[in-house]
Chains A and B, each alone.
Chain A
Amino acid sequence: GAGVSQTPSNKVTEKGKYVELRCDPISGHTALYWYRQSLGQGPEFLIYFQGTGAADDSGLPNDRFFAVRPEGSVSTLKIQRTERGDSAVYLCASSSDLGGDTDTQYFGPGTRLTVL
């Protein structure tokens, strides 16, 4: 595809429910990132994949959050037992990760998650 795509664009759920958010990176990009952006804040790093493996998951807030990228392309962010504080826009980004410090991360449109 032309850019990073994310589905759904909006997700409303009830407290305690399980949700899955999907990210489809730019074709050929080996690196994939998840960020979370709350209102009035900058994006906050959650996890980074290089290929199929999570190279850095230091930003995941707790064990309710989990992400996978089984075939090195599409990734799914999974949130168990959602809490109202999980409400935010979840952004996915991808990069070619050629090894330079200036690899550009291209962001998708985000999924707005609302936990009631």
Chain B
Amino acid sequence: QKEVEQNSGPLSVPEGAIASLNCTYSDRGSQSFFWYRQYSGKSPELIMFIYSNGDKEDGRFTAQLNKASQYVSLLIRDSQPSDSATYLCAGKDFGNEKLTFGTGTRLTIIP
């Protein structure tokens, strides 16, 4: 059973601080990882993807992938109240189009 695991939270972070969201996966065949943000009652929207070991930065967001440890993380710098949402981690195997999602981590930014 391929699994993607996330701490469901809630995770509370003061405004302006760094929010760190973590995800582990069990399938070493997983090649690509996606972070989606989902506001309550809305559909998931992609924040960023990563497939190479190391860090990938996009604005206030940094994704980190460590394939040896089977670990993916998302850092949000200068957290804003609008970042309050559920963050979904998803993995994808090489040659397989379906995404396997974690349960999501609920993040609350405290003004």
Contacts and interface: CB of A to CB of B under 8 A. Distances in A.
B43 interface: yes
A116 interface: no
Interface of A: 31, 33, 35, 40-45, 48, 50, 55-56, 58-59, 91, 95, 97, 101-110
B103 interface: yes
Contacts of B98: 33, 45, 48, 56, 58-59
Q: Could you say which of B43, B92, B94 has the most chain A C-beta atoms within 10 Å of its C-beta? A: B43
A48 B97 CA distance: 8
B49 A107 contact: no
Nearest to A49: B97
Interface of B: 4, 8, 31-32, 34, 36, 42-46, 49, 51, 88, 90, 92, 94, 96-104
A110 to B, nearest CB: 5
B97 A33 contact: yes
A77 to B, nearest CB: 15
> 9 closest A-B pairs (Cβ-Cβ)?
A42-B101, A107-B43, A45-B98, A101-B32, A107-B44, A102-B49, A43-B101, A48-B97, A42-B103
Contacts, number: 62
A103 B36 CA distance: 14
Given A35-B101, A101-B94, A107-B44, 15 more contacts: A33-B98, A40-B8, A40-B103, A55-B97, A56-B97, A91-B43, A97-B97, A101-B31, A101-B32, A102-B49, A102-B51, A103-B97, A107-B45, A108-B43, A109-B42
Contact of A42 (B32, B45, B88, B94): B88
B97 A43 contact: no
Most B CB contacts (10 A, CB to CB) among A50, A102, A103 go to A102
B99 A101 contact: no
A110 B42 CA distance: 8
A44 B103 CA distance: 10
